[in-house]
Structure 1
Amino acid sequence: MTVLQDIHEAHGATFRSVGGRRVVDTYGRPERTHRAVRNVVGVCEFGYGVLVVTGEDRIDYVDNAVSNRVPDGDGEGCYALLLDPQGAVETDMYVYNAGERLLVFTPPQRAEPLAEEWREKTFIQDVEITVATDDFAVFGVHGPKATEKIASVLHQTGTPEAPLSFERGELGDAGVTVIRTDDLSGEESFDVVCGADDAERVFDTLVNRGLNAVPFGYRTWETLTLEAGTPLFETEIEGALPNDLGLRTALDFEKGCYVGQEVVSRIENRGHPRTRLVGLRVDALPEAGAAVFAGDDHVGSVTRAVESPSLDASIALATVDWELPEEDLTVRVDGSEVGAVLADLPFVDGSGDSARRPRYA
């Protein structure tokens, strides 16, 4: 569950479950909060699962298991996937090299299964895998003023500049690690990681000290990420082929073998994927799973949709056939077909560009 339930409640929060973890849904007036993040900066507590990987063989072991190259330099990270033998995504993750250990951030429901799977496959390697989800708090800082916000409260170090790099410093009297993330909201973004015991002080500093920041919940996170064209694990990524998602930021096609690599490489080298992830503007808000038609032909399904606070319109991400006609598109809403048009991603241009936005060769 959230590390700071009482604090969030004092801000008027309501809650929901994401991946089995209790998180903030909204603090009320999510459309206003969304615009505040787009215009200035906001703070959200994220419910990551966290693994700590130690031992002499930690880098080689994780590198051999995942789809991207694990960095060997302290202060560097990568976004990576664990694929099944058919090339579909079992989980996505961020892997950070923190010197004598790797920190692995996963969707909350995937931390325990991933730790069990990796422990069963260590054989003779010097690797130890610990689930440390409850030991950490992670706060996302997003918005065009995110860099200014971090600089106004971070001491003993500078603001990290390279994507997925981090610096260690202090917020107030709490030790923190500040990661320059991959702009999934379509805005400048950082993750601030601290010990669970320091979470209350760090959250207060982020919201109230230096440049003020609005607290926001997962409902605003979902509208921000959809406007940015960012696929999320639960709605687009889990079980999909990374090529179909255009998820090139998670793949290193030149690295050594990992499970599912053959399938991914075959698609890359021998032709286009079967499907692709696209943006749609829709005349009415569909539900996830709603059918997409081109004329009378069923050509795909909506993965998720929102009423965009920035555009005052219904927008959606959908998985559709690769050879999709660009005219005569409809989506089924409440048993009827409503008009839809393809939209370039991102829907909204912000201060950052999501690294997960679909990109096809």
Structure 2
Amino acid sequence: MAHAAPFSAVPGAVIVDDVLQHVGNPMGEQRALARGTALAPLGDRAVIAVDGEDRLTWLDSLTSQALARLTPGESTELLLLDPQGRIEHAAAVVDDGETAWLIVDRADAEGLLAWLLRMRFRLRVQPRSADAEVAVVGGAPDALARTSPASPAGVPLIWRDPWPAITVGGYGYAAVDPHPGAERRWAEALVSLEELDRLAQDAASGALDLAGVVAADALRVAAWRPRWSGEVDERALPHESDWMRTAVHLSKGCYRGQETVAKVHNLGHPPRRMVALQLDGSESTLPERGAAVRRDGDEVGVVTSAARHFEEGPIALAVLRRGVPVDAALTVDVEDVRIAAAQEVIVPPDAGATANVPRITRLSRRARAT
């Protein structure tokens, strides 16, 4: 579905591959999103609806999250793992009492839906694409109050991001307090295509402030928030990106990959760990996803997401080998040069078989800027 097309009339709109990238001022759009005065049409998301009486117990049995008792309107997220515990798919979840609505990265939607359809067996479940019914709009809860979310069963379809809280059954590895994600208030509303057109008309007339996905993703990176399209590759474990906080229930029972999740958490350590990087700002180009992170010239990791933040400047998330020292001097490959990158630990080297990880006070962005 061409969900970005209605926004082509908005002054300054830059649309690439049916996704609104920005409306001319990504830094200003970040500020507006953070203040709660702008909305971001998220054309890089897709929606899968799962109907049927068995939908929640079925999803519970397949995924990393406890969903059997999910109440209408409650927000959570799940991971689908392979038998070795590696992440294959990820989804945000909100249920309205009749249907479970999964918000996924668009590039993951086709594969996830195909997998769900194969796993129905004789259960009363019916997964389907809902892209012809709803679109996804993101922002702070205050901003989403300007929308009319879809509510086919009487429950407004709003997913409130639980990150970075440690949800029931979860576990947090990041040893900083306060967590940078605590400053990010984020939610995503499912709106009808008619409502999307209305929002586009308000934005074109100047009655509504918009932000693109460039701004939304910069706030995500600054919050250390993992995402399928960024932090997931063929080796990704939920432990290494601190995704155990919100997407894994450690005591819910069996599901595919559960044995590995439990072993790494209780007995071992993930082979890689996610870090935040403060990048040298002298280069105008950000590193690409997959750009090499080096120590003394040797590759020790890769960039997973990069952004230019309105307060912190150029930043990135990266996964490193677990044994890379936390104080190691690092560089990142950007085009034909290597730029300096200061490491901030997200997942410590001893994550996994660890008890009582000490909390490290982290200065807020505002305090560091003064």
Q: Which TM class, normalised by the smaller chain length? A: 0.7 to 0.9
In structure 1, what is the equivalent of residue 278 of structure 2?
Answer: 281
In structure 2, what is the equivalent of residue 356 of structure 1?
Answer: none
For the pair 1:181 / 2:144, whether they are aligned, the reply is: no
* Residues 152-173 of structure 1 deviation map (CA, whole Å, 9 limit, x = unaligned): x479xxxxxxxxxx9959xxxx
* Residues 86-113 of structure 1 deviation map (CA, whole Å, 9 limit, x = unaligned): 2111110022221122112222233333
In structure 2, what is the equivalent of residue 131 of structure 1?
Answer: 129
In structure 2, what is the equivalent of residue 193 of structure 1?
Answer: 190
Contact 2:278–2:342 at 8 Å: present in 1 too?
yes
For the pair 1:339 / 2:340, whether they are aligned, the reply is: yes
For the pair 1:67 / 2:47, whether they are aligned, the reply is: no
* Residues 125-148 of structure 1 deviation map (CA, whole Å, 9 limit, x = unaligned): 122222211210221123xxx43x
What RMSD, in angstroms, separates the aligned Cα atoms of the two structures? 3.1
In structure 1, what is the equivalent of residue 222 of structure 2?
Answer: 227
Equivalent position to 1:242, from 238, 241, 255: 238
Aligned residues: 324
Query: Which is further off, 261-270 or 335-344?
Result: 335-344
1:255-294 to structure 2, matched below 5 A, reads 255-283=252-280, 284=283, 285-294=286-295
Contact 1:30–1:220 at 8 Å: present in 2 too?
yes
1:275-314 to structure 2, matched below 5 A, reads 275-283=272-280, 284=283, 285-311=286-312, 313-314=313-314
Counterpart Cα distance in 1 of 2:110 and 2:290: 28
Counterpart Cα distance in 2 of 1:102 and 1:33: 31
Inter-CA distance 305–100: structure 2 relative to 1 (3 Å threshold): closer
In structure 2, what is the equivalent of residue 161 of structure 1?
Answer: none
Equivalent position to 1:83, from 81, 85, 97: 81
Counterpart Cα distance in 2 of 1:347 and 1:300: 26
For the pair 1:58 / 2:64, whether they are aligned, the reply is: no
Counterpart Cα distance in 2 of 1:103 and 1:290: 34
Structure 1 unaligned runs (5+)? 156-165, 170-174, 351-361
Contact 2:39–2:144 at 8 Å: present in 1 too?
no
For the pair 1:218 / 2:213, whether they are aligned, the reply is: yes
Counterpart Cα distance in 2 of 1:123 and 1:258: 16
Counterpart Cα distance in 2 of 1:342 and 1:122: 44
**Structure 1 or 2: larger strand share?**
1
1:188 Cα offset (Å) = 1.8
1:27 Cα offset (Å) = 0.9
Query: Which is further off, 336-345 or 123-132?
Result: 336-345
1:134-173 to structure 2, matched below 5 A, reads 134-142=132-140, 146-147=141-142, 149-150=143-144, 153=146
Counterpart Cα distance in 2 of 1:4 and 1:299: 38
1:77 Cα offset (Å) = 2.8
Counterpart Cα distance in 2 of 1:13 and 1:206: 10
SS of 2:260 mapped into structure 1:
helix
Kindly provide the amino acid, as one letter, of the partner of residue 196 in structure 2.
A
Q: Deviation above 4 Å: which 4+ runs of structure 1? A: 166-169, 183-186, 202-209, 344-350
Counterpart Cα distance in 2 of 1:51 and 1:137: 11
Q: With the length of structure 1 as denominator, give the TM-score of the two structures.
A: 0.79
